[in-house]
């Protein structure tokens, strides 16, 4: 694309000189219009250059822009999660730095407990939901929800977990592992067993 910045600057300077030649002569409004148009063209060219420079940034190995990956990373909260597991019938724990989503925490718990191997098939987290003892206050024109002080996390896991010989003890380690996440310490963790239909957008 040809660079017209020099031509534009020359035209602006010529218009300024013409407007200063005779101070007593009424100014032609077309001069101001022309100056404004030229200024807009210059600014548009600068803006386009900035946008093209941003878009030409390097990408990561997956071909996604570094900026997009950075936005994704800062949107996800990471925490030090204590993951409980069984080893030769004894409960142990290990701290892992994880994204604080139910699915990621469940995956870490399942890996440490070799849960799929013990069950002989895939064990999945099907759903996770949070409730509290809050209440809704309704007036004539508004409805305000007051967040409670006690929180309950309800998990549904595929019933294949029940095939594990130590399923009761494993269930307790899972509830302890999931009891703190996302900046919330749950007063209660309920564990249910169900079919194999996974809840969409579990993360």
Mean pLDDT, residues 129-154? 90
What are the φ and ψ backbone dihedral angles of 5, each rounded to 5 degrees?
A: -65, -35
Evaluate if residue 187 carries a pLDDT over 70: yes
Mean pLDDT, residues 106-132? 95
What pLDDT is stored for residue 201 in this prediction? 47
What are the φ and ψ backbone dihedral angles of 173, each rounded to 5 degrees?
A: -65, -35
What pLDDT is stored for residue 103 in this prediction? 94
pLDDT band for position 172 (50/70/90)? very high
Q: What gap in Å lies between CA 134 and CA 124, rounded to an integer?
A: 30
Q: With 0.75 as the threshold, say if the pTM is over it.
A: no
Evaluate if residue 141 carries a pLDDT over 60: yes
Q: Given the DSSP bridges, would you call strands 188-194 and 184-185 parallel, antiparallel or unpaired?
A: unpaired
Please state, rounded to an integer, the average pLDDT across all residues of the chain.
74
């Amino acid at each position: 694309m040809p660079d017209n910045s020099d031509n534009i600057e020359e035209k602006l300077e010529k218009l300024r000189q013409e407007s200063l030649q005779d101070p007593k002569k009424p100014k032609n409004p077309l001069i101001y219009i022309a100056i404004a148009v030229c200024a807009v063209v210059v600014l548009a060219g600068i803006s386009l250059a900035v946008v093209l420079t941003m878009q030409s940034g390097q990408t990561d190995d997956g071909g996604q822009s570094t900026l997009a990956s950075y936005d994704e990373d800062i949107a996800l909260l990471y925490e030090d999660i204590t993951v409980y597991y069984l080893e030769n019938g004894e409960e142990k724990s290990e701290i892992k730095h994880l994204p604080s989503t139910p699915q990621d925490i469940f995956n870490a718990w399942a890996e440490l407990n070799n849960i799929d191997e013990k069950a002989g098939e895939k064990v999945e987290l099907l759903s996770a939901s949070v409730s509290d003892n809050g209440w809704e206050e309704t007036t004539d024109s508004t409805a305000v929800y007051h967040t409670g002080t006690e929180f309950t996390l309800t998990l549904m896991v595929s019933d294949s977990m029940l095939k594990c010989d130590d399923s009761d003890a494993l269930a307790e380690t899972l509830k302890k592992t999931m009891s703190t996440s996302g900046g919330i310490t749950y007063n209660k963790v309920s564990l249910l067993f169900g079919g194999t239909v996974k809840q969409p957008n579990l993360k």
